[in-house]
Amino acid sequence: MSIVVTGATGHLGRHVVEQLLEKIPAEQITAVVRDEAKGAAFAARGVRLAVADYNIPETFDGLFAAGDKVLLISGNEFDKGRVQQHQVVIDAAKAAGVALLAYTSAPGSLTAALADDHRATEQVLLASGLPYTLLRNGWYHENYTENLAPVLEHSAVVQAAGEGRISSASRADYAAAAVAVLTGEGHEGRTYELGGDEAWGFAEYAAELSRQTGKEIAYNSVPGEALQGILTGAGLPEMFAVIMVGVDASIEKGELAVTTGDLSRLAGRPTTPLAEAVAAALKG
Question: 128 in a domain, yes or no?
Answer: yes
Domain that includes residue 8, residue range: 3-137+171-194+259-268
DSSP 81-104: -HHHHHHHHHHHHHHHT-SEEEEE
Question: 282 in a domain, yes or no?
Answer: no
Query: Is pLDDT at 260 greater than 90 in this prediction?
Result: yes
| Structure confidence at residue 80 (pLDDT) | 65
Query: Is pLDDT at 118 greater than 70 in this prediction?
Result: yes
| Structure confidence at residue 78 (pLDDT) | 65
Average pLDDT for residues 203-228, to the nearest whole number?
A: 97
| Residue of 56, 48, 16 whose CA lies nearest to 32 | 48
From residue 34, how far is each of 13, 15, 209 by CA, in Å? 13, 17, 36
Are 151 and 181 contacting, i.e. CB atoms less than 8 angstroms apart?
no
| Residue of 106, 105, 102 whose CA lies nearest to 89 | 102
Question: 120 in a domain, yes or no?
Answer: yes
Each residue of 60-115: pLDDT tens digit? 999 999 999 999 999 877 666 899 999 999 999 999 999 999 999 999 999 999 89
| Structure confidence at residue 81 (pLDDT) | 84
Average pLDDT for residues 26-51, to the nearest whole number?
A: 97
Average pLDDT, the chain: 96
Question: 231 in a domain, yes or no?
Answer: no
Average pLDDT for residues 116-126, to the nearest whole number?
A: 97
User: b or e along 109-137 (b: 16 or more beta carbons within 10 Å of the residue's beta carbon)?
Assistant: bbebebbebbeebbebbeeeebebbbbbb
Proportion of the chain above pLDDT 90, given as a percent = 94
Q: How many domains does the chain have?
A: 1
H helices within the chain, ranges in order? Answer: 11-21, 40-44, 82-96, 116-128, 142-145, 149-154, 171-183, 202-213, 224-233, 238-252, 262-267, 274-283
| Structure confidence at residue 180 (pLDDT) | 98
Query: Is pLDDT at 284 greater than 80 in this prediction?
Result: no
| Residue of 270, 276, 272, 246 whose CA lies nearest to 106 | 246
Query: Is pLDDT at 30 greater than 90 in this prediction?
Result: yes
Question: 251 in a domain, yes or no?
Answer: no
Question: 206 in a domain, yes or no?
Answer: no
The contacts of residue 6 (CB under 8 Å, 6+ apart) are 13, 32, 52, 54, 70, 71, 72, 73, 89
The predicted model scores a pTM of 0.96
CATH number of the domain bearing residue 133: 3.40.50.720
Proportion of the chain above pLDDT 70, given as a percent = 99
| Structure confidence at residue 76 (pLDDT) | 78
Average pLDDT for residues 169-197, to the nearest whole number?
A: 98
Average pLDDT for residues 191-215, to the nearest whole number?
A: 98
What is the chain's percent helix, strand, coil content, to nearest 5? 45, 15, 35
Question: 33 in a domain, yes or no?
Answer: yes
Question: 154 in a domain, yes or no?
Answer: no
| Structure confidence at residue 79 (pLDDT) | 65
